[in-house]
Structure 1
Amino acid sequence: MSAVKQKETPKRLPPAGRRGGGGPPHMGMGMPAEKAMNFGPSARRLLGRLRPHRVQLTGVLALAVASVGLSVIGPKVLGHATDLIFSGVIGRRLPEGTTTEQAVAAARASGNGNFADMLAKMHVVPGVGIDFAALGRVLALALALYVGAAVLMWAQGWVLNGVVQRTILRLRAEVEDKLNRLPLPYFDRQPRGELLSRVTNDIDNISQTLQQTLSQLVTSLLTVVGVLAMMVWISPLLALVALVAVPLSVVVTGQIAKRSQGKFIAQWTHTGELNGQIEEAYTGHELVKVFGRQKEVEAAFHAKNEQLFQASFGAQFVSGIIMPAMFFIGNLSYVAIAVVGGLRVASGTMSLGDVQAFIQYSRQFTQPLTQVASMANLLQSGVASAERVFAVLDAEEQTPEPARPARIADPHGRVEFEHVSFRYAPDKPLIDDLSLVAEPGHTVAIVGPTGAGKTTLVNLIMRFYELDAGRITLDGVDITTMRRDELRGRIGMVLQDTWLFGGTIRDNIAYGRPGATEEEILAAARATFVDRFVRSLPDGYDTVIDEEGSNVSAGEKQLITIARAFLAEPSLLILDEATSSVDTRTEVLLQRAMAALRSDRTSFVIAHRLSTIRDADLILMMEQGRIVEQGSHDQLLAADGAYARLYRSQFTGAVITDEIPAPPTGGAPAGTLPAAAPAKN
């Protein structure tokens, strides 16, 4: 269990139960961290998934325009309130009974020209203080504007939340459907933890990104437009001062975001690889302890965890620089506006309220720019996750179902291979020009050394893989002309490695045929000797099996899976070392039960223990993808060929070949192995 490297991924075995001889080059597949993220097209594709919700998005835009409009008017109204207060304060200082023109002339006469210019632009009533009635009306209007803006913003968020969640719901459903359409080789090449990370963590990250950025992005852009229009209306000169900060902000943000792109893609790649390692170590923890490899597993985890830390720290640190940089630029703009605005108030070209409103607008102008910049890291992370999910959606699917699928009118279970050729890798032949016939009701046993292609043969019948040449027929119908669910619905398969889900024993057996009656479930259980041990359990068939199946033995789990296959009443039965986990006595009983249930059914049995297939109607001896011998047990023993040598290796002693390596020094002489003790029959 070595660490998954960034540029060189170790070979991985296929999942248990699909591990056959001469399997494909199972490579751990993860997105390389060094690959640059194609941000633009991926972001457009992600936003394109919102297209079905055009009406709701139009409503969101309308609500955002109304909310931002009310918010933008607010500072101008508050500026008018400031003018009322300032005018009242200045008015009380002027002699009562004089006019504004007289007060201006008196100020100029006293040499206070700046005050005279400012006073000339103000609406002042000498001798009269603050008009609290007018001030109250203005403040009430400002309060109504801000309350209305808040309500509209809440409504916008509520509608947008529904749009985002329905989009993510549809995306999850598409990924689920896609996984069902992907061919088995895709899963052979993908570490399970990496794939799970894409369909869980990455989709959750996309949801968070859309939820947090869409509303804020729309509001921020509209705020920029509205505030800019108000600033130009109040003072084009100050607006020009404020706009100087925009290109500087864009350049700084662009440079920082460019450096964070690769780090975010590396972050999510390392997350998927780390999940793969954790999942592998957890599911194989017993094996890790047996071989004492805890230190190696921990070292691999810490190495990958350190890579994830470095990538995450780099991504967050680099993108986190954006916010303080934007604040710094915004403060420079604020100082410039305050200085220029103060000079214009002193010269009488602007009112104090307008300057106050403009300062508020400058803050409102830089704030949405800062918010957009601060969303850059979230956007980069979300689009990186979207790319990984899109990679799953874009994966090559299995061949489509036929437009007019064929159906088997009279099922019996006759299987015929006609000049079948298949290979996992184009340059590594496995099965070449294979022909055989399995008659209804017959048991066909497939034996041979590891890597001979035994499991591959039955996987081809199930259409887990597609043929390179030739064809396979079931009851005279080419299986490629049938729907896969129709084909597999006629096949029952029991693997060497059992699979049970969290639920009762009854539920696990009934999984073979939904809708089966209680009596049918019990009949299948009795036929496969499940009933014998279930009756001894306190809760009987209501015993809940946990996800690991740890509360029943390995043999009992295998019996349950066999009962599940029997309940399905298939035309074709495939047993891949299905009795390897049961004791000898139970195995004999199962052989008798299978004989009774094979009537008008064909059975393919993959076996390494040759004692279990002596009564097979046909035994196929495979080597390197070819059937080198076929016949009954007695016929093959009499032929004294490959089968006979394999049989003697199990029941008389070890066969010595040139391929068997010499034992270590200090043991038996080089090139020999100690003879095995005779096995009891």
Structure 2
Amino acid sequence: MNTLNPASSQGAEKKKRSVFLRLLEASRPYRKRFFLAVGCMFIASACNVVPPWLLKNVVDDVLIAKDLAMLNTLPFLLVALFAGKGIASYGHQYLMNWVGQNVVMDLRLRLYDHLQRMSLRYLYGKRLGELMSRITNDVTILQNLVTSVIVNLVVQTATFLGMVGFLLYINWKLTLITFAVLPLTVVILDRAAKKLRAVGHTIQSELAGLSAVVHEAFAAVRIVRSFATEDLELARFRKSNRENFRAVMHGVQVQAALAGIIEVVLIAALAVILWLGGGEVVRGELTPGELIAFLGYLGFLVQPIRVFTSVVSSMQLGLAAADRIFALLDIPEETTSPANPVPLGMLEGRVTFRDVRFSYVPGQPVLKEISLDVRPGERVAVVGATGAGKSTLVDLIPRFYDPDSGSVLVDGADVRTVDLRELRKQIGVVPQDPLLMKGSIAFNISYGLPELSLEAIRGAAETAGIAGFIESLPEGYDTEVGERGVTLSGGQRQRIAIARAVVRNPRILILDEATSSLDLEVERQVQAAMNRAMKGRTSFIIAHRLSTVRNADRIIVLDEGCVAEEGTHEQLIAAGGIYCRLHALQFRGGEGTE
């Protein structure tokens, strides 16, 4: 468990301060439109500032001085003013949304791409719903920050400063008296900002938890219905939903209280100015038009400050979302291609493990000093009890993980020194759970190889023993498999997964528990497909069912992360060790029951 220290706290604070800088950096490709949008914002703000000054002219020059020329001019000025404001507002809204949407789209792509490349160690330790929440909910809130909140912040800030300038010009003494209350307003806003940011983190965490509950329930809908636990899942959802509601309402409470307090403070200041300014008009120190304009500016000043209180809330929510997004982007990828990779070329298929140690949790090794040399074209089975490290061992070959110490070599090259894509293109993997993507059978077999011909797809299907079934379907290879391949049986999905692996003509083939969930008849069919797929390839077979490994060239027995035994089926049976005991347990005393 990580313990926070002052250095890490300072680092976290530095990251928070740099959120805006990182967002500006993300907007750099669109800076021309960004600055044009900012220009439109300032024009719109200038148009917001002028009306109270025109009101002064109406009172002093038209109503009191009876200036007809001014009376004839003012309507045209008002129309021109608000026409300009309308055009500028349209410009900054369109341009800023265009920039903001592009920035958010880029961040969403970066986040998705980063998650795709993240360490499996990290991904398997997270709830999928929480990660989905980062891409959907957090990015949506960030979108509001860069399209709406920043626009309001710039426009209202410029309007506020412009109005303050006019107030100082009309009567600087009254302005200073008015702004004596500003420190109180700033303190209130500062405390509210800190509170709202914390609330924003809580809201997003609860929303991520809600998404995770929904995803888990629907991903395991068959289990839920099998065990009749719909009420249990509803209770979990209700609890998470209620916690999310409480977090949101807490934020609403803080925001509503903030708006009310700020408004009371400003109205109190307005009442004082009305009393003092009225006295100056009576004494002839201020014209009626100037007092009306001054009060008008104060009245209009309430709007930017009110917007600021709303912006503070939305900004803190947006910054909380940005914190979460950038925190995820800042997590380094565990396995990356080197800057200058060693050329790999066409593999022969030799795989070597040299003193490999690996652990998911520091201090709890899964693999201990593993040393193996697998010849090109050799079929190697890896067996052992659950948790012995079988799948972990073969996961090191395509660099799903890197060893803590030691090295894994392919054709004599350390896999950490070669290009990841070049390495993985020559390794075929058939997982225990043969997940298929939504799309056609042809799409799933040729997954990642869109240029593949139908002949090549058909050849892979024949190798996997599934071609006859596919061609018997009304739409053949264009048949849709449904979400996760639910329209196909387990054996059919497994054979399509084998076809997907061999269509790339890999030099190394990894079959990870490929028949563990199949019945005996289907297992024989898949086993035949596996035998055809392994022909001429270096193959690793991970298996609990020992009937699937007896024809391997070599069997590696792992026990507590170490190579305990090694040999052929006959040799290991004769040795009477771990393999022999596992075999006896499975077949109840002899090969005759196989």
Q: Please, what TM-score do these two structures have when normalized by structure 2?
A: 0.92
Q: Identify the match of residue 62 of structure 1 among 12, 16, 39.
A: 39
CA shift in 2, pair 1:402/1:255, >3 Å: closer
Q: Take 1:51 and 1:164, find their aligned partners in 2: how far apart are those partners? A: 11
Q: Give the alignment partner of residue 448 of structure 1, picking from 376, 384, 387.
A: 384
Q: Which moved more, 1:441-450 or 1:581-590?
A: 581-590
1:553 matches 2:530:
no
For residue 384 of structure 1, the aligned residue among 320, 325, 328 is 320
Indicate conservation of the 8 Å contact 2:335/2:401, yes or no: no
> Which residue in the other structure is 1:343 paired with?
279
Say whether 1:478 aligns with 2:414: yes
The question of 1:143 aligning with 2:79 is answered yes
- CA separation of 1:257 and 1:411: change in aligned 2, threshold 3 A: closer
Q: How far does the alpha carbon of each residue in 1:400-452 deviate from its partner, in whole angstroms, 9 at most, with x for none?
A: 42233223345221212222222222211222221222222221111111011
Aligned to 2:270: 334
- Aligned partner of residue 348 in structure 1, secondary structure: coil
Change (3 A) 1:61 1:514: closer
Instruction: State whether residues 464 and 532 of structure 2, in contact with CA within 8 Å, keep that contact through their aligned partners in structure 1.
Output: no
User: Could you report, residue by residue, the CA deviation over 1:177-223 in whole angstroms, capped at 9, with x for unpaired residues?
Assistant: 32243222111222111111112210111011221111111111111
Q: Does 1:236 align with 2:236?
A: no
Report how many aligned residue pairs link the two structures.
Answer: 585
Instruction: Give me the whole-angstrom Cα distance separating, in 2, the residues matched to 1:368 and 1:422.
Output: 59
Out of 496, 507, 511, which is 1:575 matched to?
A: 511
Following superposition, the deviation at residue 84 of structure 1 comes to 4.3
1:395-544 matches, within 5 Å, as 395-511=331-447, 513-544=449-480
Secondary structure of the residue aligned to 2:428 is strand
Q: Deviations over 1:370-395 (max 9, x none)?
A: 21112111111111111111111111
Counterpart of 2:513 in structure 1: which amino acid?
E
Matched, 1:317 2:253: yes
The match for 1:114 is none
Q: Which residue of 2 aligns with 1:305?
A: 241
Report the counterpart of residue 145 of structure 2 in structure 1. Answer: 209
Task: Rate the CA distance shift 1:275–1:483 in 2: closer, same or farther, 3 A.
Answer: same
**d(CA) in 1 for partners of 2:304 and 2:346?**
71
For residue 582 of structure 1, report the CA deviation from its aligned partner. Answer: 4.2
Counterpart CA distance in 1 for 2:16 and 2:315 is 9
Q: Shift in Å at residue 58 of structure 1?
A: 3.2
> What's 1:161 paired with?
97
Distance 1:652 1:588, change over 3 A: same
Is 1:558–1:581's contact at 8 Å kept on the other side of the alignment?
no
Residue by residue, what CA displacement relative to the aligned partner does 1:131-162 show, whole Å, maximum 9, x if unpaired? 65541222221221222122122212222222
1:270 is matched with 206
Larger radius of gyration: 1
Contact 2:510 2:540 in 1 (8 A): yes
**Where does residue 113 of structure 1 map in the other structure?**
none
Among 188, 209, 222, the alignment partner of 1:286 is: 222
Q: Which position in structure 2 is the counterpart of 1:372? A: 308
2-structure distance, mates of 1:51, 1:519: 47
Match of 1:78 among 11, 32, 55: 55
Higher relative contact order (CA 8 A, sep 6+): 1
Contact 2:515/2:527 (<8 A) preserved: no
The Cα of 1:495 is off from its aligned counterpart by: 0.6
SS class of match (1:470): strand
Task: Give the aligned CA root-mean-square deviation in angstroms.
Answer: 2.5
Q: Deviations over 1:263-318 (max 9, x none)?
A: 22111111112222221122112223333444443333333322222221112211
Is 435-444 or 394-403 further displaced after alignment? 394-403
Q: Which moved more, 1:399-408 or 1:382-391?
A: 399-408
Is the deviation greater in 189-198 or in 411-420?
Answer: 411-420
1:235 CA displacement: 2.0
Query: Which amino acid in 2 is paired with 1:488?
Result: R
Alpha-carbon distance between aligned partners in 1 of 2:222 and 2:46, rounded to the nearest angstrom: 64
Q: Are the aligned partners of 1:316 and 1:377 in contact in 2 as well (CA < 8 Å)?
A: no
Q: Give the direction of change, closer, same or farther, for the CA distance of 1:339–1:39 in structure 2 (3 Å limit).
A: farther
2:40 is aligned with what amino acid? L
Superposed, which structure 2 residues align to 1:68-217 within 5 Å?
A: 68-87=45-64, 123=65, 134-217=70-153
Taking a change above 3 Å as real, the CA distance of residues 190 and 442 of structure 1, as seen in their structure-2 partners, is same
The letter for the 2-side match of 1:454 is K
Aligned to 1:105: none
Letter in 1 for 2:55: L
Contact 1:445 1:605 in 2 (8 A): yes
* Equivalent pair of 1:556/1:582 in contact (CA under 8 Å): no
Question: Aligned AA for 1:73?
Answer: V
Residues in 1 aligned to 2:38 and 2:18: alpha-carbon distance in whole angstroms = 23
Contact 2:461 2:499 in 1 (8 A): yes
Query: What CA distance in whole angstroms lies between the structure 1 residues aligned with 2:167 and 2:303?
Result: 15
In structure 2, how many angstroms separate the alpha carbons of the residues matched to 1:407 and 1:65?
Answer: 56
After superposing the two structures, state which structure 1 stretch, 349-358 or 315-324, moved more: 349-358
Cα deviation per residue 1:49-97 (whole Å; 9 max; x = unaligned)? 445544444333333333322332232123212334532xxxxxxxxxx
Measured in 2, the distance between the counterparts of 1:513 and 1:587 equals 28
Q: Which amino acid aligns with 2:391?
A: T
What pairs up with 1:353-372 in 2 under 5 angstroms? 353-372=289-308
Assess, with a 3 A threshold, how the Cα gap between structure 1 residues 36 and 69 changes in structure 2: closer, same or farther. closer
Supply the distance in 2 between the matched residues of 1:37 and 1:294 (Cα, whole angstroms): 46
SS in 1 for 2:483: coil
2:472 is paired with a residue of what secondary structure?
coil
CA 1:396 to 1:543, structure 2 compared with 1: closer, same or farther past 3 Å?
A: same
Q: What SS does the corresponding residue of 1:244 show, helix, strand or coil?
A: helix
Greater shift in the superposed pair: 230-239 or 217-226? 230-239
Letter paired with 2:165: A
Taking the aligned partners of 1:40 and 1:245, their CA distance within structure 2 comes to 28
Question: Is the contact between residue 411 and residue 571 of structure 1 (CA under 8 Å) also seen in structure 2?
Answer: yes
Contact kept? 1:53, 1:163, Cα under 8 Å: yes
Q: Counterpart of 1:620 in 2: which secondary structure?
A: strand
Going from structure 1 to structure 2, the CA distance change for 1:156 and 1:565 (only over 3 Å counts) comes to same
CA drift at 1:598 = 3.0
Verify the 8 A CA contact 2:358 2:405 in the aligned structure 1: yes
In structure 2, the residue matched to 1:100 is: none
Partners of 1:192 and 1:296 lie apart in 2 by 20
The letter for the 2-side match of 1:66 is: I
1:36 and 1:262 in contact (8 A); partners too: no
Deviation at 1:45, TM superposition (A): 4.1
Quickly say closer, same or farther: Cα 1:440–1:468, change in 2 above 3 A.
Answer: same
Q: Residue 59 of structure 2 aligns to which amino acid in structure 1? A: T
1:67 maps to amino acid: A
| 5+ long unaligned stretches in structure 1 | 1-6, 9-34, 88-122, 124-129, 655-677
Cα deviation 1:81-130 (Å, max 9, x = unaligned): 2334532xxxxxxxxxxxxxxxxxxxxxxxxxxxxxxxxxxx3xxxxxx5
